[in-house]
Copies of this chain bind each other. A is one copy, B any other.
Amino acid sequence: MVRVVQKFGGTSVGDPDRIRTVADHVARCQRRGMQVILVVSAMGKETDDLLRMASAVSKIRPGREMDMLITAGERKACALLCMALADLGVDAQSFTGSQAGFMTDSNHENAKILDIVPTRVEEALAAGVVPVVAGSQGVSGDRDVTFLGRGGSDTTAVALAQVLNAEMCELYTDVSGVFSADPRVVPAAQRMATITFDELLEMTATGCPKPAMRSVEVAHNYGVPLHVRSAFTWEPGTLVVRDYTEAPTKKLSAEEASMERPIIRAVTHDLSESKVTVIDVPDRPGVSAQLFRALARAEVNVDMIVQNVSEEGMTDISFTVPSEQVELTRQVLEGGVLSEIGAERVSTDGSIGRVSVVGAGMKSNPGVAATMFETLAANEINIEMISTSAIRISCVVDASRAEEAVQYLHTAFGLDG
């Protein structure tokens, strides 16, 4: 019997009709001989509603109480899905994070899974009962309810698939898979039949919104095959595998199966960051360390870092941070760090966009960077910063040109469908 973990996101269970549709899908899977374990998020916008309610009663939000509040959403969705399954003659049992054996740390609102002891889930499976597990929650060593954070249901599903030795973890969502670019920006963007973990990780880190990066990391670490697919069309989506030799041949498109696989798989973009430049920094050892240690202490989430070539013993250091952390960054720097390192001043730019091309094939194709820069230059898009990894190149450009840049690059790398 094939054992599969199926995770359904908030919009997939957003109203009673959707819940009955999901139950119908699960009943069909079971009739086809699959052993299904469900993981469910809170219905629709319920988590947002609960957060709004919390703001309405208090300016203070104790983490323990926020988690008690928010986790109520997934519990309700699980119970309702079990009822809908019962209505179709499918035996099902809901489990809270605690009941499903998710032990976490006490870091409320963003807890990490320490261990999973899914005794009750396994008992249910042995009895032919479909376990329906509340996503994104667990219990701490203090026996308090914990929440794994937004998007944590994906992590719950992947971790459960690993510990239960499931053959597949299916993430059902409101997108039909992973695309070569955001289809709202590039109408010719194509859904990929397969993608590797390495590539998907670079994509999620540079703007691809689903699945949640954390779940891809967990799946990658434990080698759990992922299937990102739609809970609305039910058609096959994107299979995420360790490398292309692992992908079942029938899942690969003609191009993907050939040795001449496209070098670049996807073009991603991200408009959520701002650029910070520290101007006229003395170019001596230890200066960068001082700068970024101070930012790390203030929990500023620094992303790309670029240091210009030194001129007359002075240099500029630029980096990107989430736009909501620009003020914090400025406070940290102007509150002492600048004078400590002897730098002149700070400038910030909130209107930047980061455009990235991702593909494992670029490792053996040295021309990728050149193609990217030429494409942008030919369209008079100025590059402000560059950073690279083994399978990704990112350029920071003006925010107003970022979506155009994605379109030009998608065409230039032969990705248009």
List A residues at the B interface (Cβ < 8 Å): 16, 19-20, 23, 50, 53-54, 56-62, 64-66, 68-69, 71-73, 75-76, 78-84, 86-87, 92-94, 96, 99, 120, 143, 145
- What are 25 residue pairs bridging A and B, where the CB atoms are less than 8 Å apart in the complex? A19-B57, A20-B58, A50-B76, A54-B79, A54-B80, A57-B87, A58-B86, A59-B87, A60-B86, A62-B83, A62-B86, A64-B82, A64-B94, A65-B94, A66-B83, A68-B75, A68-B79, A69-B79, A69-B80, A69-B83, A71-B75, A72-B73, A75-B75, A99-B143, A120-B143
**Contact of A93 with B64 in the complex, beta carbons under 8 Å:** yes
**Contact of B75 with A58 in the complex, beta carbons under 8 Å:** no
Give CA–CA (A252, B20) in the complex, Å. Answer: 58
Residues of chain B contacted by A19 (CB below 8 angstroms): 57
Residues of chain B contacted by A92 (CB below 8 angstroms): 65
> Which of A62, A69, A83, A92 has the largest count of B CB atoms less than 10 A from its CB?
A83
Give CA–CA (A57, B75) in the complex, Å. Answer: 15
Residues of chain B contacted by A76 (CB below 8 angstroms): 50, 53, 69, 72
Residues of chain B contacted by A96 (CB below 8 angstroms): 68, 145
Q: How far is the CB of A257 from chain B (nearest CB, A)?
A: 42
A79-B65 contact, Cβ under 8 Å, with A20-B57, A57-B84, A58-B87 = yes
**Contact of A61 with B83 in the complex, beta carbons under 8 Å:** yes
Give CA–CA (A73, B72) in the complex, Å. Answer: 8
Q: How far is the CB of A19 from chain B (nearest CB, A)?
A: 5
**Contact of A83 with B99 in the complex, beta carbons under 8 Å:** no
Q: From A13, which residue of chain B is reached at the shortest CB distance?
A: B57
Give CA–CA (A59, B354) in the complex, Å. Answer: 51
Number of copies of this chain in the oligomer? 2
Q: From A52, which residue of chain B is reached at the shortest CB distance?
A: B16
Chain A contact residues: helix, strand, loop or mixed:
helix
Q: A68-B78, A75-B75 are in contact. List 14 more A-B contacts (CB 8 A).
A: A16-B53, A16-B56, A53-B80, A54-B83, A57-B84, A62-B86, A65-B83, A65-B92, A65-B93, A68-B75, A68-B96, A72-B72, A72-B73, A72-B76
**Contact of B64 with A83 in the complex, beta carbons under 8 Å:** no
Residues of chain B contacted by A58 (CB below 8 angstroms): 20, 80, 83-84, 86-87
Residues of chain B contacted by A145 (CB below 8 angstroms): 96
Q: From A16, which residue of chain B is reached at the shortest CB distance?
A: B56
Residues of chain B contacted by A61 (CB below 8 angstroms): 83, 86
Residues of chain B contacted by A143 (CB below 8 angstroms): 99, 120
Give CA–CA (A71, B99) in the complex, Å. Answer: 15
Q: From A54, which residue of chain B is reached at the shortest CB distance?
A: B83
Q: How far is the CB of A267 from chain B (nearest CB, A)?
A: 41
User: Which 10 residue pairs spanning A and B have beta carbons closest together?
Assistant: A16-B56, A69-B79, A58-B83, A58-B87, A68-B79, A72-B72, A65-B82, A60-B86, A65-B79, A57-B84
Give CA–CA (A53, B145) in the complex, Å. Answer: 25
Residues of chain B contacted by A66 (CB below 8 angstroms): 79, 83
Q: How far is the CB of A84 from chain B (nearest CB, A)?
A: 4
Give CA–CA (A96, B93) in the complex, Å. Answer: 20
Q: How far is the CB of A337 from chain B (nearest CB, A)?
A: 33
Residues of chain B contacted by A65 (CB below 8 angstroms): 79-80, 82-83, 86, 92-94
Residues of chain B contacted by A83 (CB below 8 angstroms): 54, 57-58, 60-62, 65-66, 69
